[in-house]
Amino acid sequence: MSLVQGYRGAKKIFEDAKANRYALPAVNVTSTSTINASLEAAKEVNSPVIIQFSNSGGAFFLGKSISNASQKASITGAVAAAKYIHEASPLYGIPVLLNTDHAAKKLLPWVDGMIAEGEKFYKTNGRPLFTSHMIDLSEEPLSENIDTCKRYLEKLTKLDMYLELELGVTGGEEDGVDNTGVESSKLYTQPEEVSYAYEELMKVSENFVIAASFGNVHGVYKPGNVKLEPAILKNSQHYIQKKFNTKNNPVNFVFHGGSGSEVAKIREAIDYGVVKMNIDTDIQWAFWDGVRKYYKKNEAFLQSQLGNPTGDDAPNKKYYDGRVWIREGEISIKNRLAQAYEELNGVNRLLLAVGKGGYLKNCASLGEHGLWANIKSVIVGANSQ
């Protein structure tokens, strides 16, 4: 049984994360290799994982030669990758949240296409294809951003999914979106904006998380160039808690641009309700760095098909086989992600749900795979919301 979660499973995880002050890494993947490395890391640290596709990541999964007219490649690629993860997840035995990353206004047809596929999937399987989609209309006026988000939230809620939205602009550059020149006030979301979004979205459902800007940027920059202000998140939580008389930390926040961030700031952000931290750039580097180190170490065996220091005709096949050097990249990703889990206080956070349709775990598969020695907590009745 697939271990890809719906909103109900995600909600349990986020509630546990807030109660125990940790967050999960969300990894931008592009291929089976990057997916497998993410699942492997999660299994190794015994915690759930968030896997996500950007628009171009989805297209890359399908293949660079396929035209992306009408978003066809990005839709088909993300859907194919999601189905792959549904199939693979029981063997890794780790709950997975499947998200899609930034969809600006012009990319909404991509989200529409994935929702159409998700509706078909839900009809057949009784569970969502993706756990969540992100819509990033932070460039648009706030009222347009929230009105559009409400429309999508309604659709996603029906599919037991949640919506990730963005308020304020994440700085830096990623996937061809360049916000390096954005004026700095926009990089800090105001409590009134978060409160307005919270109030309006709650009229539809609670199935949302908010990416708020607190000086975070996409990419990795020279130390001192990024000024994170997690207190921005705290101010928003307090504002909403007071205004709507909610429990502590009512909003689930997402930290975009986690690569290269100081651990103290990450931990502070978690204290203020961050449950998910996106990590992309550092994973890209880890992938390459694993291959780079492998090449350096075995350089003399990687110059021709035949001939190396052991003999002029000695074969080098076992050095240049893609499964060997790509694997080194995978291991390097896995190690970097394990570090991220440590920094996020997210090691050994496996949750077990009891009850069929409760999604977090299928008990039958637990016994089968024998992976559950370190289960942290058992949640009964995930099925009943």
Pick the closest to residue 177 from 280, 268, 269, 88 (CA basis): 280
Q: Say how many residues touch Zn ion, by CB under 5 A.
A: 2
Among 42-50, 176-184, 256-264, 356-364, the segment contacting Zn ion (CB under 5 A): 256-264
> Closer to Zn ion at the Cβ: 133 or 256?
256
What's the maximum distance between 2 C-alpha atoms anywhere in the chain?
77
Minimum CB distance to Zn ion, residue 180 (Å): 14
154 CB neighbour count, 10 Å cutoff: 13
Among 124-132, 251-259, 282-290, 330-338, the segment contacting Zn ion (CB under 5 A): 251-259
The pair of three-digit structure tokens given for residue 210, joined into one six-digit string? 């908010």
Catalytic residue of the set 101, 160, 280, 282: 101
The set of residues, in sequence order, having a beta carbon less than 8 Å from that of 146 and lying 6+ positions away, is 165, 196, 197, 200, 201
Minimum CB distance to Zn ion, residue 270 (Å): 18
Minimum CB distance to Zn ion, residue 233 (Å): 16
Q: Does 276 bind Zn ion (CB under 5 A)?
A: no
Minimum CB distance to Zn ion, residue 167 (Å): 13
> Closer to Zn ion at the Cβ: 113 or 219?
219
Minimum CB distance to Zn ion, residue 337 (Å): 17
Among 164-172, 199-207, 219-227, 324-332, the segment contacting Zn ion (CB under 5 A): 164-172
126 CB neighbour count, 10 Å cutoff: 10
Residue sitting closest to Zn ion (CB): 256
Under a CB-based contact definition with an 8 Å cutoff, are residues 211 and 252 in contact? no
Q: Which of positions 170-199 make contact with Zn ion (CB under 5 A)?
A: 170
> Closer to Zn ion at the Cβ: 170 or 235?
170
* Interatomic CA distance for residues 28 and 225, integer angstroms: 24
* Interatomic CA distance for residues 294 and 319, integer angstroms: 9
Burial class (CB within 10 angstroms; exposed 0-12, middle 13-18, buried 19+) of 299: exposed
> Closer to Zn ion at the Cβ: 68 or 170?
170
Pick the binder of Zn ion from 8, 256, 336, 361 (CB under 5 A).
256
Under a CB-based contact definition with an 8 Å cutoff, are residues 25 and 99 in contact? no
> Closer to Zn ion at the Cβ: 256 or 265?
256
> Closer to Zn ion at the Cβ: 150 or 256?
256
Catalytic residue status for 321: no
Among 39-47, 147-155, 168-176, 196-204, the segment contacting Zn ion (CB under 5 A): 168-176
Burial class (CB within 10 angstroms; exposed 0-12, middle 13-18, buried 19+) of 175: middle
Minimum CB distance to Zn ion, residue 278 (Å): 5
> Closer to Zn ion at the Cβ: 34 or 170?
170
Among 88-96, 108-116, 165-173, 328-336, the segment contacting Zn ion (CB under 5 A): 165-173
| Residues in contact with Zn ion by the rule CB under 5 A | 170, 256
Catalytic residues: 101
